[in-house]
Amino acid sequence: MSKIVSEFSFKSWEYTVKRIFTTRSLTTSSDSNSANKNYDIVVVGGGIVGVATAREIINRHSNLRMALLEKETQLANHQTGHNSGVVHAGIYYQPGSLKAKLCVEGAQLSYKYFDSKKIPYKKCGKLIVATNPEEIKKLKDLYARAITNKVPDIQYIEGEKAIKAIEPLCTGLEALWSPHTGIVDWALVTKYYAADFVERKGNVFLNFAVNGFHESKNPDYPIKICSTTNNSVNAKYVLTCGGLQSDRLAVMSGCSKNPKIVPFRGEYLVLRSEKARLIKTNVYPVPDPRFPFLGVHVTPRMDGSVWLGPNAVLAFRREGYKWSDIHFGELLETITYPGFIKLGFKYLIPGAMEMIKSRIVSLQLRDVQKFLPTVTKGDIEKKITPAGVRAQALDGKGNLVDDFVFDKNTSGGPTASRILHCRNAPSPGATSSLAIAKMIAERCETEFNLKELISK
């Protein structure tokens, strides 16, 4: 059932989970005394995939001593806390692919979890709108994919009148209607995952920026995980889910530099509240299959706001949410990477257009006006410009890596071979998080030989 919540009730739920998380996470600290502990498994990365996986492993094996390490002062601080908040239904992905399976399963698991925890969400649905005859063929291909992927209750809508019956402001020829697409605050969901983890006696350490994996002096816990603030924990096994830092974590244990994470910033426009109140559902264009992103779309938010976007421009640092966020070392590392150079040549004109649109609001708005023609520049909130950064994995040949990549240095000695890296968890990682967590947990059971570990 859809949760239609007021701003007051949403804030009260957020307060509740913060209180639960704070009171139960007694070991959440950057204090070196509290961090000097030994664990069976340590998960590095406090985004939604890392936290969901830690929760899944400890749910399956409650007798394991586990810790979760996050470099920021709070969980879900980057990709998870800066996305559009959509619960995707699984329409876009290649039938039979892992992404398609995990998205459909993940959405079902997510809604069950939201209901069990009384997490507020809205099943406001999604329209994917074709505005010209050329897009209609692509739309029908998407519909066929959705049917094959068993997206629940997907409908093909013909005619502008039928489209307007769902979203009165929308103009188009034909559309797909996905009633089970929803919205939620994924950062809040991550904190609920963490509260489950802590309730099972898992420990969470914030302000713990990992800067190396070394051999410890304890043969029972051979991996010493060190931080930039001279804290450390020891572990028998380590799983990293580092998002924007995932390739760097892999290199720390002797793995290849490839695939490399290239940060792409997605910027959003925000509708003024007067116009936002008129929007009823998510509205997406028909994606261009030549490009890896879904195009500028309209997304209602849990706080009542409505975002238009995102675009896709190169971020000038790994965690660069504004044009002024520049790290010259990280930028040089990106633009001199052979894979990025090849990608740049391939998408030179579209990439340049995205950069221009980022600076000229009216150009970005044109994409929205194709299906919401009544939205004007005067409807845009000038003071609010939210953005997220996508950790796009890129190989040395300039190919965008669109599947899961796991890595382990099997020739680096007993310490390195005990560290498993999830180097890429492709979109939609938040929607699929519980399903992804099941998959990674099963992999860890094999890679870490957890049956033998538990029996000891």
- Continuous H helices in 231-324: 246-252, 273-276
Mean pLDDT, the chain, integer? 90
The residue that leads in pLDDT, 348 or 440, is 440
Of the ranges 34-48, 230-244, 262-276, 317-331, which one carries the lowest mean pLDDT score? 34-48
Q: Whole-prediction pTM value?
A: 0.92
Categorize the per-residue pLDDT at 350 as very low, low, confident or very high, splitting at 50, 70 and 90: confident
pLDDT at 32 over 50: no
| Contact between 68 and 233 (Cβ < 8 Å) | no
Categorize the per-residue pLDDT at 292 as very low, low, confident or very high, splitting at 50, 70 and 90: low
Interatomic CA distance for residues 266 and 236, integer angstroms: 38
Q: Where are the domains of the chain?
A: 7-79+186-259+403-455, 262-267+296-393
pLDDT at 36 over 70: no
pLDDT at 135 over 70: yes
Tokens 């099997």 correspond to 410
pLDDT at 301 over 60: yes
* Confidence (pLDDT) at 23: 37
| Contact between 429 and 79 (Cβ < 8 Å) | yes
Categorize the per-residue pLDDT at 24 as very low, low, confident or very high, splitting at 50, 70 and 90: very low
Question: 7-79+186-259+403-455 is classed in which CATH architecture?
Answer: 3-Layer(bba) Sandwich (3.50)
- Continuous H helices in 118-200: 133-148, 160-166, 186-199
Interatomic CA distance for residues 210 and 93, integer angstroms: 34
* Confidence (pLDDT) at 451: 74
| Contact between 181 and 89 (Cβ < 8 Å) | yes
* Confidence (pLDDT) at 357: 86
